[in-house]
Amino acid sequence: MAAPSLTPFFLNFYRRHEVPVSFIMFGLGFVFDVLTIRRIDSTRALIQQALYLLMLGILLLLEIRKVTGGLKLKAKGERIWQYHGLVVHFLFGSLLSWNTIFYFSSASALTSFAFILLLGALMVANEVGKSRSPGIPLRISLFSVCTLSYFLFLYPIFLGKLSRSSFWLGFGSSLTLVLLLWAGHGLEATRHWRKVILPALIVHLIFLFAHATNLIPPVPVAVKKIGVYHGVEKRGDRYLAQYLATDWNPWPWAKAEFAARSGDKLTVVLSIFSPRSFSDDITLKWYRFNGDWRLEDTIPLSILGGREKGYRGHGTKQFFTPGDWKVIVETSDQREVGRVRFSVRHDLSVTPRTFQNDTF
């Protein structure tokens, strides 16, 4: 007697628990990239994500053609096709994790977490609900997010610096890819533009607005660590930044306190990640609050990419007054990549101070 096939069991299980199984596959794709990608700017990672985009694009093309009646499968093909959703979710999980790994390793992890929640909400909307009609537009929207993120990351690596041209090259490449996906319907393309081209255009327009208003982080550059200190010195390959225990604040989004005595200097030390062969300029802009935020000083720095823990740099301000301060790190195209907030107060005591070291 032949052994019973496990295929019907798995298929019935998938049909009964489609939503949790889909989320498991999404999570597996996410975790897979977290565990396997060490450097997001590596050639291996870039090629892997390009292949995932290609596979996902083909599956979405077939899915749209099948829903619209342009693709007919035989019985065996239908049995295999029933599992395509699992592959789609795995690919989405992997692609989206590749983009968010970068932000989790930077100073903007809270924003990344909100981004993950937003994507999760889109996946829920795609899978839950009585009507399945919104499925294709939502998947096209997610696909557009993936293609835009990939190309906006890719071109600055090739060009070796951030620029307006790198954004427009990435924007144009992503839009072209989605247009090719739409054109793959042939004569049926004009009938289904609302399911494919309209959601893609909306996502691209949102990215365009976010870029114009400096809401898009300037990938592939990220501040990994930043703080205000009493001084910094280099020992071997390490930069040691001096601080007092009373200055220290474990919460990166909270405002630090800086107790200043006569002759003290404000030193902002940071490590900033950028890919290999990447060379660009950043600016430390010092603002003091006096009814409103006023620019007090500007310190330029040049960065070189390649170091896994980030390029180290620092800027020092010798003349300052007590009050609320913030230092904003901007790229050469004037987009914010990080900031630190602190409050300066007079320290009138004369007792000896013992500094501790923070290593960069």
Residue 333: which CATH number? 2.60.40.1930
* Integer angstrom CA distances of residue 99 from 15, 119, 129, 248, 260: 30, 12, 28, 31, 40
Question: Of 180, 212, 244, which residue constitutes the final position of a domain?
Answer: 212
Position 327 confidence tier, pLDDT thresholds 50, 70, 90: very high
Question: Among 185, 212, 239, where does a domain finish?
Answer: 212
DSSP 8-state assignment for residue 189: G
Furthest-apart CA atoms within the chain: distance in Å: 92
pLDDT per residue as tens digits for the range 59-86: 888 887 777 666 677 777 777 777 777 7
Task: Let me know whether 263 and 208 are in one domain.
Answer: no
Q: What is the pLDDT of residue 286?
A: 95
Residue 83 is assigned to a structural domain of this protein: yes
The arithmetic mean of pLDDT across residues 296-323, rounded, is 86
**Range from 166-170, 278-282, 321-325 carrying the lowest mean pLDDT:** 278-282
Per-residue pLDDT band at 1 (split at 50, 70, 90):
very low
Q: Are 31 and 165 in the same domain?
A: yes
Of residues 142 and 107, the one with the higher pLDDT is 142
pTM of the model: 0.72
pLDDT at 132: 45
Do 274 and 189 share a structural domain?
Answer: no
Is pLDDT of 304 > 50? yes
Based on the fold, state whether residues 90 and 193 are members of the same structural domain. Answer: yes
Looking at the structure of the chain, the number of domains it has is 2
Question: pLDDT at residue 116 above 60?
Answer: no
| Residue 217 in domain | no
Which tokens sit at 146? 């993936």
Judge whether 2 lies within some domain. no
Pairwise pLDDT comparison (137 vs 342), residue with the higher score: 342
Given this model, what pLDDT does residue 314 score?
92
- Asked if pLDDT for residue 100 goes beyond 50, the answer is yes
User: Do 102 and 200 sit in the same domain of this protein?
Assistant: yes
> 20: domain range?
7-212
- 293 vs 307, higher pLDDT: 293
Looking at the fold, whether 199 and 66 belong to one and the same domain comes out as: yes
**Burial annotation 286-315 (CB, 10 A radius, 16+ → b, else e):** bbbeeeeeeebbebebebebeeeebbbbbb
Name the percent of the chain lying above pLDDT 90: 16
pLDDT digits (tens, 9 = 90+) for 127-160: 554 334 447 788 888 889 889 888 988 888 888 7
Position 271 in a domain: yes
